Amino acid sequence: MKPAEPPISPRAQSGERSRLAQRLRRVIRGEVLFDAASRGRYATDASIYRVEPVGVVVPVDEADLLAALELARELGVPVVPRGAGSSQCGQALGSGLVIDTSRHLNRILAFDPAARTVEVQPGIVLDRLNAQLAPAGLWFPVDVCSSAQATLGGMAGNNASGVRSVVYGNMVHNVVGIDAILADGTPEHFGPFGVGATRALGSARASAMVSRLFQLAAREREEIERVWPRVLRRVGGYNLDVFHPVSVRPYTGDGSVNLAHLLVGSEGTLAHFRRLHLKLAPLPGHRLLAVLSFPSLPAAIAAVPEIASLGPSAVELLDASMLVPLRGVRTLRPLVDTLLAGRPAALLLVEFAGDERGPLLRRLRALEEGVAGPGAQAAFLEVADPGRQRLVWALHRAAIEGALVGALVGVGARRPVSFIDECAVPLPRLAEYVEAIEETMRRHRVAGVWHGRASVGALSLRPLLALRAGEAAKMRPIAEEAAALVRHFGGAFSGGQGDGLAGSEWIERDFGPRLARAFEEVKAIFDPDGLMNPGKIVHPLRMDDGVRMRVAPGPARAPADGVEAAVARCDGNGRCRALDSGAMCPSYRITLDERDSPRGRVNTLRLALEGRFGPEGVGASEVAQAMALCVSCKACRSECPSAVDVARLKIEALSRRPQTLSRGERLFASLPAWAPMASRLPWLPNLRDRVPGMAALTGRLLGLARRPLPRWRRDTFLRAWSQRAQLGQGRGAPAADGDGRVVLFADCFSNHFEPEVPHAAVRVLEAAGLRVEVARPAPNDPQPGRPLCCGRSYLSAGLLDRARAEAARTVAALAPLIEEGADVVGLEPACLLTMRDEFRWLGLGDAAQALAGRALLFEEFLVRERAARRPMPAFLTSPWQRALLHGHCHQQAFDAVPDLVQVLSWVPGLEVASAPAGCCGMGDGFGYRADGHGASLRMGELGLLPAVRDADASTVIVSDGFGCRRQIADGAQRGALHVARVLEAALPAGGVPILRPGGAGG
């Protein structure tokens, strides 16, 4: 094999690199990232490989893109185009100059709903594009499972295909034109060619190239006809068949040539895409879905041809084992239980879509009778409701993401590895192929996970290998046999995932030496100097070349916990770059900077652990920079398929930083220590927002943002509660059955700034017949007069010892009550959920574990009590018509928002709607920092604040987070209420709180 990439000399790694960076900075306005952290962050994608680029350029516009390419060409530096970097075969990795278009070149440039076309820049993400098309009843139908992060440029680069590819085909069937920049810098439009072409080639260079391509294709015509795999899906090699259509699904309706189709699937090796012209499809009026469960994988595969004959829009295979971990996701658990009830081994999700329901129903019935009828092995579950269908597809995506990253029960050190993924085989031979490859796997004593596009015969098989423990050696023999089997059954080795570093080596097996040489000629025509993403498709390296493996051999088991474990778990799938689904990640969403994504943060930690930033390791400034905008919302904790909890990693990183805290940080962190004093003299700290100039002064001295601070109160809840106890007020005896006892945890925020909240909670709980006690320090506490605290503010500053000490006080105070069987109820999600989460890993022993199991949010407790048949108060008709609900980000991360919705639904006449998911931007007091204020408001503007502004006067804004309520007040000038206060207002004689935008209602 020829060397794949012109090696970058050692000199280029230092002096030449900085000269290149300097020259780039002179010609482009976008980011030029040549530091070790940036290069390391772009050294991985969602594959098993790691190749460090010489540097990264993030162009702000097309002029920048052209300038960067021109300079790279002049200096002979290879370029690696990159979108989201979610490829699984290493397509977006290389040692040259990475050009990331996802941050700035991500707009829709033209949209013609009548013609059903759209022109986009390459960095736009599929979900974002489709969200903008949906109001016109249209979509771009290449619905890849990575739609939350995949860019259209990357999709075109990979010739990506979606769940419904049996109807809509791959990218090649849906791209109608590409404005590209050729290797010599010539801009050219590639589109329909010959008769019917609307645009002629503009450059002599392109015309010359195209005539050579036609000659080459004519020469290879017979070989193309003889060798080309006749399958529904193939993405390997170059699409030379544009000139002689032989694909089962032709690229154009009339067999004409569209030159853009040759560029689709070229993985950045032929030209750089500047703009894409896409064909759109109408959103179907109806979708019907059924889930078929089979006792064995062969039984499921055997049913595929018959199902395919009914004309489904999707047939997706899932190994039942992929569903098991999803039992842990509360919203999916009931569905998982239903689907796994008969202990199936494999499932097929079968969808029919179209504009008329009748014909779809008939096909669904035919499916039920044919495949799942009497005597058949399959169980049939019809999913008619569109909401439930969405849930099934959410489960499908979660299962695939889990399978990709190894979140499978019992996998241990072994993880699914992508190297024989989505081999495509003609449907009639699919069962034989599966049987044969299963036999191969058995012989090599390797288990695997199956899923994939059964509709087009492109199934993913991910062997479970412990690469760290040297099992990479098993890849080659398995791949050799798989490639031979695929060929034997008339299939295509690369049916879906692309070639990249993992698959390019196998192209010659698939297409034979003659066409492999023809592909090299195609490459030479476009890129004579071999500077466009070298090493992919032609002149490949060996797929198991250890130099490029991300996971170096080492201990067989990854560490179980902490930074090292998170780094080992993250597979770079890029789900954390999602912009339009779920809550992840507010800081990435406002900057679109890879550094600010959870993946970027974990990669930075990886580099720190490797010592790339010097002896400070995880405490290095590069890590602090990557963590700077993290608001500890924990969205990544619940939404990352690898369950990487960056909020926790941030705490660990902060705790290891060498420098001392600033005055402001120290003040924030130690709030629990000085809050009692401040509440005795509240006028003093409150002067800050009353005396002109004080806000500016505190900004300078303490780094505080120029926004009003919460108003200190003298009438704290705990003081009022003590007085009440002294007066002997409140419900005395416990309920008759003796179990009506609850311990209320009055957090610092509720106690000092908004005592109405705990008062309201007490009223509601007592109205439910409960005896409320309030958590107090233990009798032997050295500071018995100081309220208990969860220690969150210390955690946020990385002061682990101080946090541990606060947590230990709280655990000591609550442990006896827990032992007596009491539940602890909290009101502020950040505080209460710290007991459930961080308390567990602070090393506080069994008592902390017990508390974690009994600590409930107010609404969780009410829902549980009602389920246990405790009568709830008789709520009267709501004073408001609607409630707009914003779940605190930790409530979202802990799946607690449904309980919030449920308790609000108990109020007669109150219609409940949810604000878009996501963090308000105030996590860990971020918005009170001068350097966080602007970013915090931008996070609020991502969804919450516009939704609040849209709410009319008869709508009450509900949020349990103190910081969220402050953000709503400051950012949208609306008051907001804790749910306890909404319920209190609906109690007989509850009284409607007055909502003040400047505060949280009094």
Ligand X SMILES: Cc1cc2nc3c(=O)[nH]c(=O)nc-3n(C[C@H](O)[C@H](O)[C@H](O)COP(=O)(O)OP(=O)(O)OC[C@H]3O[C@@H](n4cnc5c(N)ncnc54)[C@H](O)[C@@H]3O)c2cc1C
Closest CB 57 distance from ligand X, rounded Å: 12
Task: Select 273 or 489, whichever has its Cβ closest to ligand X.
Answer: 273
Q: Residue 956 is inside which H or E element, if any?
A: strand 955-959
3-state secondary structure of 315: strand
92 scored as a contact of ligand X (CB under 6 A): yes
Closest CB 163 distance from ligand X, rounded Å: 7
Please answer whether residues 1000 and 977 qualify as being in contact, where contact means their C-beta atoms are separated by less than 8 angstroms: yes
3-state secondary structure of 918: coil
CA proximity to 656, closest of 626, 703, 621: 621
632 scored as a contact of ligand SF4 (CB under 6 A): yes
Q: If contact means CB under 5 to 8 A according to the sort of partner, which of ligand X, ligand SF4, none does residue 183 touch?
A: none
Label the pairing between strands 458-465 and 448-453. Answer: antiparallel
In the chain, what is the straight-line distance between the N-terminal and C-terminal CA atoms, in Å?
76
DSSP class per residue in 205-228: HHHHHHHHHHHHHHHTHHHHHHHS
What is each CA distance from 596 to 82, 101, 103, 918, in whole angstroms? 17, 16, 12, 16
Of 634, 759, 802, 933, which one interacts with ligand SF4 (CB under 6 A)? 634
Please answer whether residues 911 and 954 qualify as being in contact, where contact means their C-beta atoms are separated by less than 8 angstroms: no
Please answer whether residues 576 and 636 qualify as being in contact, where contact means their C-beta atoms are separated by less than 8 angstroms: yes
CA distance 746 to 758: 7
151 scored as a contact of ligand X (CB under 6 A): yes
967 scored as a contact of ligand SF4 (CB under 6 A): no
Binding mask 461-500 for ligand X (x = CB under 6 A): -----------------------------------x----
Of 247, 258, 533, 878, which one interacts with ligand X (CB under 6 A)? 533
635 scored as a contact of ligand SF4 (CB under 6 A): yes
Task: Select 582 or 758, whichever has its Cβ closest to ligand SF4.
Answer: 582
CA distance 575 to 599: 9
Q: If contact means CB under 5 to 8 A according to the sort of partner, which of ligand X, ligand SF4, none does residue 161 touch?
A: ligand X
CA proximity to 872, closest of 883, 884, 858: 858
Q: If contact means CB under 5 to 8 A according to the sort of partner, which of ligand X, ligand SF4, none does residue 267 touch?
A: ligand X
Binding-site size for ligand SF4 (CB under 6 A) equals 15
944 scored as a contact of ligand SF4 (CB under 6 A): no
Label the pairing between strands 346-354 and 314-319. Answer: antiparallel
Task: Select 568 or 631, whichever has its Cβ closest to ligand SF4.
Answer: 631
Of 259, 647, 896, 904, which one interacts with ligand SF4 (CB under 6 A)? 647
CA proximity to 85, closest of 146, 175, 170: 146
140 scored as a contact of ligand X (CB under 6 A): no
Q: At what angle do helices 646-655 and 598-609 cross, to 10 degrees?
A: 40
Q: Write out the two tokens for 730.
A: 């409140």
What is each CA distance from 725 to 717, 729, 820, in whole angstroms? 12, 6, 21
Binding mask 381-400 for ligand X (x = CB under 6 A): -------------------x
Q: If contact means CB under 5 to 8 A according to the sort of partner, which of ligand X, ligand SF4, none does residue 146 touch?
A: ligand X
The residues, ordered by sequence, that sit 6+ positions from 722 with a Cβ below 8 Å of its Cβ are: none
Please answer whether residues 129 and 271 qualify as being in contact, where contact means their C-beta atoms are separated by less than 8 angstroms: no
CA proximity to 573, closest of 398, 424, 408: 398
Closest CB 799 distance from ligand X, rounded Å: 37
Q: If contact means CB under 5 to 8 A according to the sort of partner, which of ligand SF4, ligand X, none does residue 259 touch?
A: none
Closest CB 148 distance from ligand SF4, rounded Å: 13
- What are φ and ψ of residue 48, in 5° steps? -90, 5
Q: Point out which span in 503-511, 563-571, 631-639, 740-748 binds ligand SF4 (CB under 6 A).
A: 631-639
Task: Select 503 or 586, whichever has its Cβ closest to ligand SF4.
Answer: 586
Closest CB 153 distance from ligand X, rounded Å: 3
Q: Could you count the other beta carbons within 10 Å of the beta carbon of residue 789? A: 24
Closest CB 479 distance from ligand X, rounded Å: 19
96 scored as a contact of ligand X (CB under 6 A): no
Closest CB 52 distance from ligand SF4, rounded Å: 23
Closest CB 200 distance from ligand X, rounded Å: 23
- Residue 36, burial from CB neighbour count under 10 angstroms (0-12, 13-18, 19+): middle
Please answer whether residues 120 and 109 qualify as being in contact, where contact means their C-beta atoms are separated by less than 8 angstroms: yes
Of 86, 165, 174, 587, which one interacts with ligand SF4 (CB under 6 A)? 587
Q: If contact means CB under 5 to 8 A according to the sort of partner, which of ligand X, ligand SF4, none does residue 598 touch?
A: ligand SF4
CA distance 958 to 902: 13
942 scored as a contact of ligand SF4 (CB under 6 A): no
Task: Select 636 or 948, whichever has its Cβ closest to ligand SF4.
Answer: 636
795 scored as a contact of ligand SF4 (CB under 6 A): no
Tokens 């034979």, located at residue: 512
Q: If contact means CB under 5 to 8 A according to the sort of partner, which of ligand SF4, ligand X, none does residue 630 touch?
A: ligand SF4
Task: Select 395 or 646, whichever has its Cβ closest to ligand SF4.
Answer: 646
Closest CB 923 distance from ligand SF4, rounded Å: 7
CA proximity to 689, closest of 704, 675, 674, 703: 704
641 scored as a contact of ligand SF4 (CB under 6 A): no
515 scored as a contact of ligand SF4 (CB under 6 A): no
Task: Select 320 or 644, whichever has its Cβ closest to ligand SF4.
Answer: 644
Task: Select 88 or 751, whichever has its Cβ closest to ligand X.
Answer: 88
Label the pairing between strands 187-190 and 314-319. Answer: unpaired
Q: Write out the two tokens for 595.
A: 């550094």
Q: Point out which span in 59-67, 628-636, 692-700, 763-771 binds ligand SF4 (CB under 6 A).
A: 628-636
Longest dimension (CA), the chain: 100
Chain mean position to CA 930 = 29
Which residue of the chain is nearest ligand SF4 when measured via CB?
Answer: 585
Task: Select 456 or 631, whichever has its Cβ closest to ligand SF4.
Answer: 631
121 scored as a contact of ligand X (CB under 6 A): no
Of 39, 50, 82, 792, which one interacts with ligand X (CB under 6 A)? 82
Task: Select 55 or 496, whichever has its Cβ closest to ligand X.
Answer: 496
**HEC readout, 152-196:** HHHHHHHCCECCCHHHHCEHHHCEEEEEEECCCCCEEEECECCCC
Contacts to ligand X from residues 24-63, by CB under 6 A: 45-46
Binding mask 566-585 for ligand SF4 (x = CB under 6 A): ------------------xx
Q: If contact means CB under 5 to 8 A according to the sort of partner, which of ligand SF4, ligand X, none does residue 404 touch?
A: ligand X
CA distance 91 to 99: 13
- Beta bridge mates, 290: 350, 382
Q: Write out the two tokens for 5.
A: 């990439």
Q: If contact means CB under 5 to 8 A according to the sort of partner, which of ligand SF4, ligand X, none does residue 360 touch?
A: none
Of 598, 887, 940, 971, which one interacts with ligand SF4 (CB under 6 A)? 598
CA distance 1001 to 981: 10
CA distance 323 to 727: 56
Contacts to ligand X from residues 750-779, by CB under 6 A: none
3-state secondary structure of 687: helix
Task: Select 578 or 856, whichever has its Cβ closest to ligand SF4.
Answer: 578
698 scored as a contact of ligand X (CB under 6 A): no
CA distance 59 to 61: 6
Q: Write out the two tokens for 245.
A: 């259509």
* Site of interaction with ligand SF4 (CB under 6 A): 584-587, 598, 601, 630-636, 646-647
* Site of interaction with ligand X (CB under 6 A): 45-46, 80-88, 91-92, 101, 122, 144-146, 150-151, 153-155, 157-158, 160-162, 267-268, 272-273, 400-401, 404, 496, 533, 573
